[in-house]
Amino acid sequence: MFETGPIQWLQGFASPTVTWLMTGVTQLGYTPVYAALVLFLAFAVRLRPALFVLLGLLLNGVMTEGLKTSVAFPRPDHVVQLQTRSPAPPATFDAHGFWSLPSAETRAAVRATAGISYGFPSGHVSAAMAFCLGVALFFRWRLFLALALVWPLLMGLSRMYLGRHFLADVLGGLAVGVVAAALAARLFRWLEDPREPARQPRRLALLCGATVALAVVSLFTPSLDPENVGRLAGLICIYAGLTVKGFPVDAGGPWQRAGRFVAAVLIYLAISRLGEWGLELSGWEDQRLPVLIAAALIFIGSLLGAVALARRLRWYRAA
């Protein structure tokens, strides 16, 4: 599954049109796209289920980056020159069978290369699976259940065609995305159980405590990305705050929903940029604690700020 044969077979169908299509599919798998989709779901559709879709994506990010850092497997274009990408490979890959794994020597050579990103599992594929399954589960949209069977596979084909992932990376990404969505669904049922509403405050406190513990551990664990953990901590704070103060009623006309969405996008862009500038000016962009805190504050400020502004402008209308 770490052989280049399937990739070279896919690249046998190469043409300018196919490359353009595969590149377009890949571009739809980056963070700004998911940010826009989640903000649309949260402010133009329904806020509460959108937060759990976001929870699945963030759990997916923590697990994906953790696995990448832990196993440190190379990408295809790190170890062999492929048709669509031709960097200077830092190591010679020696997988000669379907079940062969990258050798310790190959992994060491990849780790020794500055600024390199690892391949297993595919973050594009895992995020696509976590998002589609999350929307299908929390919004009960069957179309997205069908998309969960198609879109992540298409994303995986694009990543293989472009020489960025092996077949094993794609399969690993599918598995991680399923696990992340399932964990988010389990937390949703645990927190939102209508049969035991009196237990929700205690369960919410336990979840907050676990998130704080994870944040502390991430400061000393290289395999835990502080930015993803900070975002996760910020989301839990948002959910806790809205649970205590009350979620807004999602009803509203088309113009109200559009206003909420546009305001949320603008606030998110402004606060994100301010956070990036703050880290750059302070010189703390490579320090784990400031990155974690900044990621959490950006999430809290963006989402709660958008809710507060929409309430102030009466863009939430009573059902």
Q: 78-102, pLDDT tens digit by residue?
A: 665 555 554 444 444 545 666 677 7
Residue of 45, 35, 167 whose CA lies nearest to 99: 167
**Total structural domains within the chain:** 2
Residue of 273, 297, 204 whose CA lies nearest to 244: 204
> Please, what is the angle between helix 142-161 and helix 16-27, to 10°?
120
Q: Are residues 146 and 250 in the same domain?
A: no
The answer to whether position 134 is within a domain reads yes
What six digits make up the tokens of 297? 């504050």
Least confident of 24-33, 52-61, 78-87, 291-300: 78-87
C-alpha 139 chain-centroid distance: 18
The answer to whether position 248 is within a domain reads yes
Q: Are residues 139 and 2 in the same domain?
A: yes
Query: Which of 148, 176, 192 is at the close of a domain?
Result: 192
The answer to whether position 104 is within a domain reads no
DSSP state of 122: P
What six digits make up the tokens of 276? 């990036």
Q: Is the peptide bond before 222 cis (omega within 30 degrees of 0)?
A: no
The Cα 117–Cα 316 span in angstroms is 43
The answer to whether position 105 is within a domain reads no
Q: Are residues 163 and 227 in the same domain?
A: no
Across 142-166, average pLDDT: 90
The Cα 13–Cα 4 span in angstroms is 15
Q: Are residues 26 and 132 in the same domain?
A: yes
What six digits make up the tokens of 242? 């809205």
DSSP state letters, 2-55? --SHHHHHHHTT--HHHHHHHHHHHHTTSHHHHHHHHHHIIIII-HHHHHHHHH
Range picked from 68-82, 115-129, 223-237 for highest mean pLDDT:
223-237
Convert the pLDDT of each residue in 234-253 to its tens digit.
999 999 999 988 899 888 88
Q: Are residues 188 and 206 in the same domain?
A: no
Query: Which of 137, 158, 192 is at the close of a domain?
Result: 192
Question: Quick check: helix, strand or coil at residue 203?
Answer: helix
The Cα 131–Cα 137 span in angstroms is 10
Q: Are residues 12 and 57 in the same domain?
A: yes
Q: Are 52 and 188 in contact (CB under 8 A)?
A: yes
Residue 86 pLDDT: 46
Residue 205 pLDDT: 93
The answer to whether position 45 is within a domain reads yes
Q: Are residues 209 and 187 in the same domain?
A: no
What six digits make up the tokens of 284? 């703390």
Q: Are residues 163 and 248 in the same domain?
A: no
The answer to whether position 114 is within a domain reads no
Q: Are residues 138 and 249 in the same domain?
A: no
The Cα 235–Cα 229 span in angstroms is 10
Residue 279 has pLDDT above 80, yes or no: yes
Q: What is the CA radius of gyration of the chain?
A: 21
Q: Are residues 241 and 311 in the same domain?
A: yes
User: Residue 269 sits in which domain range?
Assistant: 200-319
Amino acid (one-letter) located at 95 = A
Q: Are residues 165 and 280 in the same domain?
A: no
Residues 6+ apart with CB under 8 A from 163: 7, 11, 75, 76, 77, 82, 83, 84, 85
The answer to whether position 242 is within a domain reads yes
Q: Are residues 12 and 131 in the same domain?
A: yes
Query: Which of 173, 192, 211 is at the close of a domain?
Result: 192
Residue 110 pLDDT: 75
The answer to whether position 110 is within a domain reads no
What six digits make up the tokens of 310? 């929409």
